[in-house]
Chains A and B, each alone.
Chain A
């Protein structure tokens, strides 16, 4: 019995949320739907943890969907890399489910709340699906599931601008999805297979064709759009700014990371590092773009007056760090990428949650309106400060570990200009986080704003869970760095 359960775990991670979503719609009420959402995400978090341990002990798992053996059936394949990503996605989903209740009650009309939770579950299902699948076309399907549901989620934001943002995101996301599909189609054309491992095995024979090269280009651009790499990033600030708070927190912490994972999976598992980075000049392009993203994103963040928008621009910069890591195509680089994926998920999740808690009270989140809030919402503000320190990369926080690992990775091949860019961008992070902290603590409340109290306890608990996770990673970095290193070795093969 228990054996059978363990064997089905990879499928359950997707099936549970996929089934829970229509249950929410059938329930037709916000409260019970939230409960279903909460249970599902925590159950998936538990499953993800078990899978993580199982892979760590027993090595990669292959699961044949519906009993159809790969390469003909759909294969779910779990290895050291995607179990980490799955753990991150389900962990953030679980914690943000605790957060969502009060936040949703305030921002979403109660008669639509059940739809909101259903969409959130579908989005989670899509992200989890992208992570676990070993089938290229299946990956595209899950990408569309997560994207479509996130368009709906963003459109539910309380401002009318949310509609336009969601529409733009829809256009761009669809183009991205289409590009990915075209790329996968090219690969299918040349190899006759959709299973990633199978494509990888057949690809070397046809690698030097224009079709495969074009396929790679389409896949890179398509996924770049999804994780908002400079210069195809402009949909992201609006989407994050106008989305409901709990959506911003969840999507900012997970969606871009999963898209990065998808690209890493294609580059390292399907095409192989030697082909993508040595034969073709992909690494150089990605490094240049990542530096541009870091500097341009941080610079834009400095000049924002809306805190959510500021955080969104900072996300664009942070994506730069993640891309820079795997663009080096070295074990250290991929390790740095994975470490920062997790840390940035924890950091941005915490920051967006803290900001969402302020929004819950104030209904606005511009720098002028949050002035002096440090005294009235001390717990929320302190959470923002600690998570902000982690974003800057202050020692004893997760962000420091990320930057340290990344600095080591870029200096090993002697890319000192990249190291300089990392330091400059960190200094810029100090400035934009400093602006928020200054507003919170060193300005008076503006005239005519009534005093406000703290956010609800569940929101605070969720926020601080992520904040403390940051500190925990900062102090005991070995488990995370170890897992990331295993992930890097798994996708690169030893000794690269």
Chain B
């Protein structure tokens, strides 16, 4: 029998990842695909309700707890690890598959963790392994980004550790169950989760880091960290009302940025943030239906967002470009990739018979049941808006926009295979929702395919397509900089981008002001610290023997005075 801390599918992935750099290329690829497959099978045959325990110091840890919620996330994490494994089959890097597997394994471990201490450990490993994925690209920029990213992620870990310590100390209970805001340390733990779930104002690391990883790295990154946080929120803060407005804001504010962004992976990163908002709202509602919705949406979202990142990654891999202004016209040269991208786009826009449709409607249903009309409208609008800022924007600028500058070949076979499998999964879950519903935490009694629902969804989509078309024709759609010329009224074309520029410039000016103010403060502070602490500073230079002795005397006097 394995020791308890090893007896866990997540550890299987972590160990597989640790040995991968030592293996020759072919064996590496076998492990890269075999480990997630084995882990999935392993997880699948563990009966729900199983837990393992082990003793650490005075506590009984629960390294593995498989229940409905953990199972759903565990399954999709393994699937995502497998698919991204296929996608990175061509890479000869030793470290990238290793980091990817360790990252996936630690995220899986976190989801299966039954207590706060185990959760914290895996929480930290995900931070380090995912930062490694950023570093591997080896570019100077990526290094700086990775450092920022790691700082934020470790910060989240520290909040978790602090919160958990307070919680455990106050309650004497280390189990990771419902925490809530009223629990001691509850706010700190929520902050830790919120950072990784990219709550508004805590989100910047996501759009900062994901676009700067390698083509394959981003696919891996997009799947785990944020969904792990959603899982943790669902476990610890289900039914916390505060999450509902937070999630609603998340579904709206990134849309503007997504529309303005030129880097297509940045567009996708913002849209990822929007989709997280849906899940956060669902967790905030906290009914069984809503939690099912959050879990289901995590599943479909991982799939279609991976598909979109894969297709844009394929474009990056083949052309070396990822900015909207430098792409276009690839539909003829990369027909497969184009088709897969369109499927992903349709899925994120919640077209009927696509994966996004069946999960989003669960969340909307849950919102409606609990009577949050304002939230319902917000989510519906955000859902329809997806067509505007991702559904059409991504395929259009990458594949259909007129551009005859780029000559390239179709993506490598393994990338197409990975995209194909993911696309099939998106369509299959859309066509047969019971596949998805059968792995959800709670029993589902819901059929998304009623005539009225399909019709209303199609109307919504048609309407937002119309908005897009009108905005486009009117030149109101914010074009990325150096956009292709279109036959539109130049005033609007100039005005809106100008407005966009102004807004952007104001934003940047404010940011620069604030940022440089902060920098000044920190620079000055650092300068002062440096003055005292560097090799010549008073706190760390070599004191003369006399000074040292004086301090001995002072210390002695202090003690004597205190004792008298």
Q: Would you call A172 and B556 a contact (CB within 8 A)? A: no
The 8 A CB mask of B503-539 against A (1 = contact, 0 = none) is 0000000000000000000000000011001110101
Chain A CB within 8 A of B158 CB = yes
Residue of A168, A234, A309, A405 with most partner-chain B CB within 10 A: A234
A residues 406-423 in Cβ contact with B at 8 Å:
407-408, 411-412, 416, 419, 423
Chain A CB within 8 A of B562 CB = yes
Chain B CB within 8 A of A62 CB = no
Chain B CB within 8 A of A187 CB = no
Residue in B57, B158, B534 whose beta carbon sits within 8 Å of that of A423 in the complex: B158
Q: Contact residue range for chain B?
A: 35 or more
Chain A CB within 8 A of B452 CB = no
Chain B residues within 8 Å of A201, by CB? none
Q: Which residue of A lies closest to B543 (CB)?
A: A234
Q: Would you call A179 and B556 a contact (CB within 8 A)? A: yes
Chain B residues within 8 Å of A214, by CB? 560, 563
Q: How far is the CA of A179 from the CA of B542 in the complex (A)?
A: 23
Q: Which residue of A lies closest to B563 (CB)?
A: A213
Q: Would you call A232 and B548 a contact (CB within 8 A)? A: yes
Residue of B539, B540, B548 with most partner-chain A CB within 10 A: B540
Q: Would you call B548 and A172 a contact (CB within 8 A)? A: yes
For the residues of B in contact with A, the DSSP-based class is helix
Chain B CB within 8 A of A150 CB = no
Chain B residues within 8 Å of A395, by CB? 120-121, 124-125
Nearest 7 CB-CB pairs, A to B? A217-B559, A395-B121, A300-B540, A213-B563, A303-B534, A303-B533, A234-B543
Instruction: Give, as a whole number of angstroms, the nearest-CB distance from B15 to chain A.
Output: 13
Chain B residues within 8 Å of A405, by CB? 57
Q: Would you call B545 and A172 a contact (CB within 8 A)? A: yes
Q: How far is the CA of A213 from the CA of B564 in the complex (A)?
A: 8
Q: Would you call B169 and A216 a contact (CB within 8 A)? A: no
Chain A CB within 8 A of B165 CB = yes
Q: Which residue of B lies closest to A225 (CB)?
A: B552
Q: Would you call A303 and B552 a contact (CB within 8 A)? A: no
Q: Which residue of A lies closest to B544 (CB)?
A: A168
Interface segment out of the listed A41-49, A350-358, A473-481: A473-481
Provide 15 A-B residue pairs closer than 8 Å at the C-beta atoms, listed in order of the A residue: A213-B564, A217-B559, A221-B559, A231-B551, A234-B542, A235-B548, A280-B562, A299-B539, A300-B539, A303-B533, A306-B535, A309-B535, A395-B125, A405-B57, A481-B57
Number of A interface residues, CB 8 Å? 56
Q: Would you call B558 and A412 a contact (CB within 8 A)? A: no
Instruction: Give, as a whole number of angstroms, the nearest-CB distance from B134 to chain A.
Output: 12
Q: Would you call A285 and B562 a contact (CB within 8 A)? A: yes
Q: Would you call A221 and B555 a contact (CB within 8 A)? A: yes
Q: Would you call A423 and B161 a contact (CB within 8 A)? A: yes
Chain B residues within 8 Å of A190, by CB? none
B residues 35-62 in Cβ contact with A at 8 Å:
55-57
Residue in A176, A280, A430 whose beta carbon sits within 8 Å of that of B154 in the complex: A430
Chain A residues within 8 Å of B57, by CB? 401, 404-405, 477-478, 481
A residues 216-258 in Cβ contact with B at 8 Å:
216-218, 220-221, 224-225, 231-232, 234-235, 237-238
Q: Would you call B552 and A221 a contact (CB within 8 A)? A: yes
Q: Would you call A300 and B533 a contact (CB within 8 A)? A: yes
Q: A179-B552, A408-B165 are in contact. List 14 more A-B contacts (CB 8 A).
A: A217-B556, A224-B555, A232-B548, A238-B542, A280-B562, A296-B539, A299-B533, A300-B540, A303-B533, A395-B125, A411-B166, A411-B169, A423-B162, A427-B154
Q: Would you call A221 and B545 a contact (CB within 8 A)? A: no
Known: A221-B555, A394-B124. Contact between A412 and B169, CB under 8 A?
yes
Q: Would you call A304 and B535 a contact (CB within 8 A)? A: yes
Q: How far is the CA of A234 from the CA of B547 in the complex (A)?
A: 9
Q: Which residue of B lies closest to A302 (CB)?
A: B533
Residue in B165, B545, B564 whose beta carbon sits within 8 Å of that of A411 in the complex: B165
Q: Would you call B56 and A477 a contact (CB within 8 A)? A: yes
Q: Would you call A407 and B563 a contact (CB within 8 A)? A: no
Chain A residues within 8 Å of B560, by CB? 213-214, 217
Chain B CB within 8 A of A449 CB = no
Q: Which residue of A lies closest to B549 (CB)?
A: A175
Chain B residues within 8 Å of A411, by CB? 165-166, 169
Chain B CB within 8 A of A68 CB = no
Q: Which residue of B lies closest to A216 (CB)?
A: B563
Q: Which residue of A lies closest to B146 (CB)?
A: A442
Q: Would you call B5 and A172 a contact (CB within 8 A)? A: no
Q: Which residue of A lies closest to B169 (CB)?
A: A411
Q: How far is the CA of A285 from the CA of B555 in the complex (A)?
A: 10
Chain A residues within 8 Å of B166, by CB? 411, 416
Chain A CB within 8 A of B143 CB = yes
Chain B residues within 8 Å of A305, by CB? 535
Q: Would you call A280 and B563 a contact (CB within 8 A)? A: yes
Residue in B162, B529, B558 whose beta carbon sits within 8 Å of that of A285 in the complex: B558
Instruction: Give, as a whole number of angstroms, the nearest-CB distance from B92 to chain A.
Output: 18
Q: How far is the CA of A210 from the CA of B560 in the complex (A)?
A: 9
The 8 A CB mask of A281-314 against B (1 = contact, 0 = none) is 1100100000000001001101111100100010
Q: How far is the CA of A237 from the CA of B548 in the complex (A)?
A: 13
The 8 A CB mask of B165-207 against A (1 = contact, 0 = none) is 1100100000000000000000000000000000000000000
Chain B residues within 8 Å of A210, by CB? 564
Q: How far is the CA of A419 from the CA of B564 in the complex (A)?
A: 31
